[in-house]
């Protein structure tokens, strides 16, 4: 990019496009500090895939600087080896701890690490997807997630401690139900179309094995 246009990608983008809250920039792990701050100020969302970024060695998103500059992020997955929402959030926080040698890096004075991760990702993801969701409020879409409070790692947990335990001590097996715009997507810990999805996946893998 620098050889062709004389500028780094984010610098060039900010100079040549009207970047605003309608934008979602994926990964964003290669930015310089000034780029991080300038992009955060536009209201754009950083679309993070921490498992993939770690697996491919793509670098660590500067979430602390981004957060301090008022930036918004969403968390998803484009991983071919692991799809797990709790682990994506955990990986994001742990990358900050490893880089800066600290603990509870994204926590604030009023919200635990788990709550900051979950709420920020929910709101940023809703913005990136153009959905009126990301929070429990009148008029918003019913995009909801329910955890299994019978899970042993959630025993005795309340408030922020529930999110902290799910993200840092548990995994997505704790997810009991998910609704998208009020429609059930996961029920009893299983995707409503799981059987069909698994059957198609097995068929594809068998065909690939035959080709390879």
Residues annotated as catalytic are 27, 78
Quick check: helix, strand or coil at residue 148?
Answer: coil
Sequence-distant (≥ 6) Cβ neighbours of residue 137 within 8 angstroms: none
Adjacent-strand bridge partners of 177: 146, 187
Q: What is the H or E stretch that residue 174 is in?
A: none
Beta-sheet strand order (sheet of 72-75): 24-26, 45-48, 72-75
Sequence-distant (≥ 6) Cβ neighbours of residue 93 within 8 angstroms: 105, 106, 113, 117, 167, 168
Q: Under a CB-based contact definition with an 8 Å cutoff, are residues 169 and 153 in contact? A: yes
């Amino acid at each position: 990019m620098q050889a062709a246009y004389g500028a780094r990608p984010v610098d060039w983008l900010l100079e040549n496009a009207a970047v605003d809250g309608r934008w979602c920039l994926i990964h964003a792990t290669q930015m310089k500090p000034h780029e991080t701050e300038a992009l955060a100020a536009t209201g754009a969302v950083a679309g993070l895939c921490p498992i993939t970024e770690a697996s491919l060695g793509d670098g660590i998103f500067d979430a602390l600087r981004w957060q301090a500059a008022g930036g918004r992020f969403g968390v998803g997955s484009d991983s071919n080896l692991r799809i797990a929402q709790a682990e994506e959030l955990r990986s994001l926080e742990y990358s900050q701890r490893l880089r800066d040698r600290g603990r509870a890096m994204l926590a604030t004075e009023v919200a635990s690490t788990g709550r900051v991760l979950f709420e920020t990702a929910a709101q940023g993801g809703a913005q990136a997807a153009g959905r009126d969701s990301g929070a429990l409020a009148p008029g918003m879409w019913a995009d909801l997630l329910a955890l299994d409070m019978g899970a042993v790692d959630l025993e005795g947990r309340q408030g922020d401690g529930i999110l902290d335990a799910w993200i840092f001590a548990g995994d997505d097996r704790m997810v009991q139900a998910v609704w998208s715009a009020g429609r059930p997507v996961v029920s009893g810990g299983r995707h409503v179309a799981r059987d069909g999805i698994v059957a198609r996946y097995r068929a594809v893998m068998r065909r690939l094995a035959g080709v390879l």
